[in-house]
């Protein structure tokens, strides 16, 4: 029986809101779920900006193709090319749209949109609002969502936690089970399509730059219910954050984009080589210019138009630069800190950075306008996430297109034109997971950023995902509602999942009264964060990752003995956190397994015991699949198709080649570093 | 910055409430002093070991937080009598120059308590609906850039757009109470934000009609408490005055044109 189509969107960050707006605009009703009021979603934290080749950037010699190319280059070529192509070509339109929505972008003296430099590009292509860009973009989309809410096209379910996807016996996603975080009621909701837009998973590392709800719990639940993960080992460590007890607070790349410099106290010997300075106790303002070791400028001196551009190499590269220097004893006072210095910048530039400078000042008590900031790398972004497919006309076709999509998918629509290089607009399959009807958008989607994300590309990918894929999702839901509506699915399918989740909650609550001591969830989380940070961040080794895997498996065993401290039937945060912890442990196990299996160094996955990047073996997505019956993970390797840009050596103008690259024999010529346009003369 | 008189441990008093419409009560906890501690860390320490100063094991305290860097607005509480974000409230700062090294934490009083320090601020989001807090764009289609804007105009709008719906201004406002319908400074400033945008201004009349009605801008007693507590330095009283003037102009126009 045909019924009115409905789409569930889980997550009200940029990706979820963009999707809600687009689906509602297409005339399909949306149920929007979020653990927090959507206006408080983690996207609100984003600071620096959003990339796009708008007209003035084009006239400086940049193009959408360059944006496409540098995104792949930054990602060490592990990104899927058609989605990145589409995203970078939509970027200028997205900026225009946000501008029309009233987002208060910074302006030039003539009233046009201003831009700043950002990492991984020698072009000024990052649009921004002060240093609180994410907040402003989120509010812009929040406002449009509220508009649809008043028209009855979007129904918000805030303070509701997604618990499990409802997948019918044919493997089609039909809705979700969620819990009201205030009344603790567990309930099922039907939908013809379900969108996961639940963001990143930084909390697996204990402390990160992310918000407290970024546990990855929702993604892990989908994984356990049969959705696959792609490249979960790819976790970005940002070079500049303020380490804190409760959180590592980011100091955005925009500080360096506006001219900020990273340095360490040092001294040059007669050969010009830098050594740590023997006097560790000096105040930074007393350290003379010739005793400041500008580590990234020295290491990446030929990247970009000026030497200072060395501060803007891709994040994984900058992070390693700082990390290794600190290991060599350059750290401030011998400790694990470096200086991020903006004191030399003019007052109006500092004004543009006010939002982050205020954060620094509030949390440390020092005024960064006058004293260099103390920073250290911190876990920041998950490139990996739920595995997602898409439809493209390009050859070679990705494996999933032939395996999972109908026979006629990916056929060229207009034979009079060349095959479209991006994704097929309006297709049902764009960013659908391997589970039919279940989509993944935003940070939780693995497709766009490969082995490292470039700064200011995340906001873009989240909004693009929602707007571009929203149309296909609405189309799919409408089609399903006509022939195979969720409304007609047997109630037993939903009731079974409600029971599974209610039983789970009851088991947790029962532990409160249990006689034995049990395991404290907060303590276990702290330990999980420590081992993951130790072994799966800046430098990885087989030995270390295997050690971590053993330990995490031990924690999974300990978790069976978890004990809650709260029986409350009202806003039981203890229950919500403990449940997510179990899901984080499973996600962590998948990350480690994929990391151990990927025997190469690529982007953020830097393994000191591997011999560089190996395209012959690992130009591949790590696809993790979970078997709930046995609790076993399988890691499968799937080729990343190369329809448009051949992989080449990634080199940000370093003095020394950072990584060796083993290319596929047929690509040997393409790997000539001399072809790198950003870096015409690598040393 | 470390307080010179830093204690080894200190007492934190927390006002608790088990659920909606339940009675409230106070509990005290002893917490070790650590460097760079903020109120969130204090609450986490209490959560890790929820034993009161009289040795009673109690349920963990519930509270709301998100970003931990004063940008999401979730963690607003009343700390030592002052409404503010708990994530950016450093213990050192509370202790510097203070003789009484006890910290008291209460939920905001102007919103219904959900549990303990967790309150329900839905009213603020509903008010944004009432004033049609958005720019009425045609669609998400690619229709070219938005209107040009001078740096000064951008500057003025950006100042207001940093409002994180935290509720401090409402907690401090003598006119805003749990049971009246005054909309408060936050939403009046937001109305100005949208009125000042060329496309947003299309709904200016409707917004002003709402703000001239009951619970609108005339209910403001000009006590200026709001602007003093706003963590984002939003020029609230200026915004209220401007909206007041816009409303006057709107009334005069309506009078002469007979149009709504
Ligand atoms: C400090 C910081 C600064 C950054 N700066 C930039 C920048 O300048 N430029 C840039 O491009 N990128 C930046 N990023 C990255 C970017 O902010 C994020 O990648 C992006 O905001 C993610 O958006 P999202 O919509 O995918 O998810 P989020 O904004 O994280 O939203 C997730 C949503 O899912 C909901 N949710 C999660 N789990 C559940 C569940 N179980 N049930 C119900 N709902 C759930 C949450 O409530 C939330 O609404 C920054 C990131 C950080 C941490
Ligand atoms: S000026 Fe006074 S009465 Fe008016 S909103 Fe502010 S605090 Fe309330
Ligand atoms: S105006 Fe200021 S105090 Fe009021 S809600 Fe907004 S940010 Fe908070
Ligand atoms: S947690 Fe977001 S403002 Fe404090």
Give the least confident one: A476-480, A523-527, B3-7, B8-12: B3-7
The H or E element containing residue B82 is: strand B82-85
CB atoms within 10 A of CB B93: 15
The mean per-residue pLDDT over the stretch A237-250 comes to 93
Whole-number Å distance, alpha carbon B229 to ligand 3 midpoint, is 8
Residue A271 has pLDDT above 50, yes or no: yes
Could you tell me which chain B residue has the CA closest to the CA of A351? B155
Q: Give me the pLDDT at residue B70, please.
A: 96
Residue A673 has pLDDT above 60, yes or no: no
Tens of pLDDT along A244-268? Answer: 888 999 999 999 999 999 999 999 9
Residue A216 has pLDDT above 50, yes or no: yes
Q: Is A479 helix (H, G, I), strand (E, B) or coil?
A: helix
Phi-psi region of A55 (alpha: psi -120 to 50; beta: other; left: phi over 0): alpha
Which atom of ligand 3 lies nearest, measured to the CA of B167?
5
Q: Give me the pLDDT at residue B231, please.
A: 97
Residue B6 has pLDDT above 80, yes or no: no
Retrieve residue A293's tokens: 């070791």
User: pTM for the complete prediction?
Assistant: 0.95
Give helix B236-257 / helix B204-212 axis angle, nearest 10°. Answer: 100
Q: Give me the pLDDT at residue A677, please.
A: 33
- A473 and A439 in contact (C-beta within 8 Å)? yes
Q: What is the DSSP string of A548-594?
A: HHHHHHHHHHHHTTB--S---SSS-HHHHHHHHHHHHHHHHHHHHHH
Q: Give me the pLDDT at residue B244, please.
A: 95
B65 lines ligand 4 (CB under 6 A): yes
Q: Is B13 helix (H, G, I), strand (E, B) or coil?
A: strand
Residue A2 has pLDDT above 90, yes or no: no
For residue A58, CA distances in Å to A63, A421, B163 come to 5, 20, 34
Q: What is the DSSP string of B201-221?
A: GGGHHHHHHHHHSTTSGGG--
Q: How confident is the model at residue A658 (pLDDT cuts 50, 70, 90)?
A: very low
Q: Report which of A673, A584, A640 is spatially closest to residue A75, judged by C-alpha positions.
A: A640
Q: How far is B240 from chain A (nearest CA, A)?
A: 20
Catalytic pick among A174, A292, A315, A602: A315
Tens of pLDDT along A602-644? Answer: 999 999 999 999 999 999 999 999 998 999 999 999 999 999 9
Residue A681 has pLDDT above 70, yes or no: no
The answer to whether B162 contacts A566, with C-beta atoms less than 8 Å apart, is no
- DSSP 8-state class, residue B152: H
User: Distance (Å, rounded) from C-alpha A243 to C-alpha B260?
Assistant: 56
For residue A230, CA distances in Å to A197, A516, A596, B31 come to 15, 39, 15, 43
Could you tell me which chain B residue has the CA closest to the CA of A244? B36
- A338 and A331 in contact (C-beta within 8 Å)? yes
Interface test with B, best of A362, A518, A563, A578 (most B CBs within 10 A): A362
User: Distance (Å, rounded) from C-alpha A443 to C-alpha A465?
Assistant: 10
Closest protein CA for atom 1 of ligand 3: B186
More confident residue, B91 or A280: B91
Tens of pLDDT along B155-187? Answer: 999 999 999 999 999 999 999 999 999 999 999
Chain A residues in contact with B164 (beta carbon < 8 A): 39-40, 44, 135
Q: What's the whole-number average pLDDT of chain A? A: 93
- The count of C-alpha atoms lying within 13 angstroms of the C-alpha of B136, restricted to the half-sphere facing its C-beta, is 13
- The answer to whether the complex's ipTM is over 0.90 is yes
The mean per-residue pLDDT over the stretch A222-242 comes to 97
Q: Give me the pLDDT at residue A231, please.
A: 98
User: Distance (Å, rounded) from C-alpha A512 to C-alpha B129?
Assistant: 42
Tens of pLDDT along B33-55? Answer: 998 899 999 999 998 889 999 99
Give helix A491-510 / helix A573-597 axis angle, nearest 10°. Answer: 100
Closest protein CA for atom 7 of ligand 2: B173
Whole-number Å distance, alpha carbon B103 to ligand 2 midpoint, is 27
Which atom of ligand 3 lies nearest, measured to the CA of B168?
3
The mean per-residue pLDDT over the stretch B207-227 comes to 94
Whole-number Å distance, alpha carbon B242 to ligand 3 midpoint, is 17
Q: How far is A44 from chain B (nearest CA, A)?
A: 6
Residues contacting residue B152 through CB under 8 Å, at least 6 positions apart: none
Residue A27 has pLDDT above 60, yes or no: yes
Environment class of B163 (CB within 10 Å of its CB; exposed 0-12, middle 13-18, buried 19+): buried
The mean per-residue pLDDT over the stretch B81-105 comes to 92
The answer to whether A102 contacts B197, with C-beta atoms less than 8 Å apart, is yes
Q: What residue ranges line ligand 1, CB within 6 angstroms?
A: A 10-16, 33-36, 38, 41-43, 45-50, 133-134, 161-162, 197-199, 209-210, 213-214, 217-218, 250, 252, 380-381, 442-444, 456-459, 462
Q: Is A487 helix (H, G, I), strand (E, B) or coil?
A: helix
Q: What's the whole-number average pLDDT of chain B? A: 94
Could you tell me which chain A residue has the CA closest to the CA of B93? A365
Q: Give me the pLDDT at residue B7, please.
A: 83
Q: How confident is the model at residue A25 (pLDDT cuts 50, 70, 90)?
A: very high
Residue A657 has pLDDT above 60, yes or no: no
Q: What is the DSSP string of A53-108?
A: --HHHHTTT--HHHHHHHHHHHTTT-S-HHHHHHHHHHHHHHHHHHHHTT----B-
The answer to whether A40 contacts B66, with C-beta atoms less than 8 Å apart, is yes
Q: Give me the pLDDT at residue B4, please.
A: 57
Q: Is A307 helix (H, G, I), strand (E, B) or coil?
A: helix
Q: Give me the pLDDT at residue B253, please.
A: 87
Verify whether residue A315 is a known catalytic residue.
Answer: yes
Burial B57-85 (b: 16+ CB within 10 A, else e): eebbbbbbbbbbbbbbbbbbbbbbeebbb
- The count of C-alpha atoms lying within 13 angstroms of the C-alpha of A167, restricted to the half-sphere facing its C-beta, is 20
- For chain A, the straight-line distance linking the first and the last C-alpha, in angstroms and rounded, comes to 68
Which atom of ligand 1 lies nearest, measured to the CA of A11?
34
Tens of pLDDT along A346-379? Answer: 999 999 999 999 999 999 989 999 999 999 999 9
Tens of pLDDT along A299-308? Answer: 998 888 888 8
Torsion of CA B65, B67, B68, B69, to 10 degrees: -140
Q: Give me the pLDDT at residue A551, please.
A: 98
Q: Give me the pLDDT at residue A660, please.
A: 60
Interface test with B, best of A100, A129, A135, A155 (most B CBs within 10 A): A100
Considering only the beta carbons, identify the residue of A104, A129, A147 that sits closest to B134.
Answer: A147
Tens of pLDDT along A105-125? Answer: 999 999 999 999 999 999 999
Closest protein CA for atom 37 of ligand 1: A198
Considering only the beta carbons, identify the residue of A36, A102, A249 that sits closest to B135.
Answer: A102
The answer to whether B68 contacts A246, with C-beta atoms less than 8 Å apart, is yes
Q: Give me the pLDDT at residue A661, please.
A: 62
Residues contacting residue B119 through CB under 8 Å, at least 6 positions apart: B64, B107, B108, B111, B112, B113, B167
Q: How far is A645 from chain B (nearest CA, A)?
A: 27
Residue A422 has pLDDT above 60, yes or no: yes
């Amino acid at each position: 029986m045909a019924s009115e189509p409905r789409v569930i969107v889980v997550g009200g960050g940029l990706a979820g809101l963009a999707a809600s707006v687009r689906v509602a605009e297409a005339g399909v009703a949306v149920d929007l779920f979020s653990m927090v009021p959507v206006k408080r979603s983690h996207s609100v934290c984003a600071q620096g900006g959003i990339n796009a080749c708008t007209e003035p950037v084009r006239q400086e010699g940049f193009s959408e193709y360059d944006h496409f190319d540098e995104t792949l280059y930054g990602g060490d070529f592990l990104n899927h090319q058609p989605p990145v192509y589409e995203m970078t070509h939509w970027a200028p339109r997205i900026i225009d749209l946000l501008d029309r929505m009233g987002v208060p972008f910074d302006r030039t003296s003539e009233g046009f949109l201003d831009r700043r430099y950002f990492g991984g590009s020698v072009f000024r292509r990052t649009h921004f609002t002060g240093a609180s860009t994410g907040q402003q973009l989120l509010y812009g989309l929040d406002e449009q969502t509220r508009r649809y809410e008043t028209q009855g096209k979007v129904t918000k379910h805030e303070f509701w936690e997604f618990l499990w996807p409802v997948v019918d016996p044919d493997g089609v996603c039909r809705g979700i089970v969620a819990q009201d975080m205030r009344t603790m009621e567990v309930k099922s909701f039907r939908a013809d399509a379900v969108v996961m837009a639940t963001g990143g998973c930084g909390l697996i590392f204990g402390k990160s730059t992310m918000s407290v709800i970024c546990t990855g719990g929702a993604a892990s639940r989908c994984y356990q219910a049969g959705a696959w993960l792609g490249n979960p080992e790819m976790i970005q460590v940002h070079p500049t954050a303020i380490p804190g007890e409760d959180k590592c607070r980011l100091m955005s790349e925009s500080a360096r984009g506006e001219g900020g410099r990273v340095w360490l106290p040092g001294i040059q010997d007669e050969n010009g080589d830098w050594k740590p300075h023997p006097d560790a106790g000096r105040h930074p303002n007393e350290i003379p210019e010739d005793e400041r070791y500008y580590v990234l400028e020295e290491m990446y001196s030929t990247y970009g138009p000026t030497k200072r551009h060395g501060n803007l190499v891709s994040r994984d590269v900058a992070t390693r630069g700082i990390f290794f220097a600190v290991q060599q004893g350059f750290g401030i006072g011998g400790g694990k800190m470096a200086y991020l210095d903006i004191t030399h910048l003019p007052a109006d530039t500092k004004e543009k950075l006010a939002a982050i400078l205020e954060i620094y000042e509030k949390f440390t008590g020092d005024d960064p306008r006058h004293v260099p900031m103390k920073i250290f790398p911190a876990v920041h972004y998950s490139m990996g996430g739920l595995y997602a497919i898409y439809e493209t006309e390009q050859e070679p076709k990705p494996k999933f297109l032939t395996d999972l999509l109908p026979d006629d998918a990916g056929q060229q629509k207009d034979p009079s034109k060349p095959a479209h290089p991006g994704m097929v607009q309006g297709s049902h399959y764009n960013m659908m997971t391997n589970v039919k009807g279940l989509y993944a958008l935003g940070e939780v989607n693995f497709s766009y950023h490969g082995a490292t994300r470039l700064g200011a590309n995340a906001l873009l990918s989240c909004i693009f995902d929602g707007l571009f894929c929203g149309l296909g999702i609405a189309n799919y839901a409408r089609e399903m509602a006509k022939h195979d509506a969720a409304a007609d699915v047997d109630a037993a399918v939903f009731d079974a999942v409600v029971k599974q989740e209610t039983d789970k909650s009851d088991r947790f609550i029962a532990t409160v009264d249990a006689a034995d001591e049990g395991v404290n969830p907060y303590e276990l989380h702290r330990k999980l964060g420590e081992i993951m940070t130790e072994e799966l961040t800046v430098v990885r080794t087989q030995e270390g990752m295997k050690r971590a895997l053993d330990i995490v498996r031990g924690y999974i065993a300990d978790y069976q003995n978890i004990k809650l401290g709260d029986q409350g039937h009202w806003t039981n945060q203890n229950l919500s956190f403990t449940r997510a912890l179990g899901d984080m442990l499973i996600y962590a196990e998948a990350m480690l397994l994929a990391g151990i299996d990927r025997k190469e160094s690529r982007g953020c996955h830097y393994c000191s015991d591997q011999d560089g990047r190996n395209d012959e073996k690992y130009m591949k997505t790590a696809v993790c699949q979970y078997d709930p019956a046995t609790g076993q993970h399988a890691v499968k390797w799937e080729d990343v198709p190369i329809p448009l840009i051949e992989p080449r050596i990634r080199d940000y103008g370093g003095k020394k080649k950072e990584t060796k690259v083993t290319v596929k024999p047929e690509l040997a010529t393409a790997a000539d570093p001399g072809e790198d346009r950003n870096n015409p003369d690598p040393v | 910055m470390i307080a010179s008189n830093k204690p080894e441990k200190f007492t934190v008093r927390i006002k608790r409430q088990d659920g909606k419409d339940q009675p409230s009560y106070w509990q005290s906890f002893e917490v070790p002093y650590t460097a760079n501690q903020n109120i969130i860390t204090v609450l986490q320490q209490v959560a890790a070991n929820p034993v009161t100063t009289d040795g009673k094991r109690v349920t963990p305290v519930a509270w709301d937080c998100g970003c931990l860097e004063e940008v999401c607005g979730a963690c607003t509480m009343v700390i030592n009598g002052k409404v503010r974000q708990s994530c950016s409230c450093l213990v050192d700062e509370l202790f510097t120059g203070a003789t009484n090294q006890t910290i008291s934490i209460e939920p905001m009083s102007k919103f219904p308590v959900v549990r303990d320090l967790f309150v329900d601020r839905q009213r603020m989001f509903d008010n944004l609906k009432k004033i049609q807090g958005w720019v009425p764009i045609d669609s998400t289609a690619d229709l070219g850039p938005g209107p040009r804007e001078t740096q000064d105009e951008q500057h003025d709008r950006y100042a207001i757009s940093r409002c994180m719906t935290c509720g401090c201004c409402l907690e401090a406002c003598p006119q805003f109470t749990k049971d009246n319908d005054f909309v408060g400074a936050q939403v009046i400033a937001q109305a100005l934000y949208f009125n000042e945008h060329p496309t947003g201004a299309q709904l200016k009349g409707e917004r002003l009609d709402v703000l001239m009605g009951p619970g609108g801008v005339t209910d403001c007693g000009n006590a200026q408490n709001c602007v003093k507590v706003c963590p984002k330095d939003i020029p609230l009283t200026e915004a209220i005055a401007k909206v007041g003037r816009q409303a006057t102009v709107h009334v005069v126009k309506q009078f002469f044109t007979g149009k709504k």
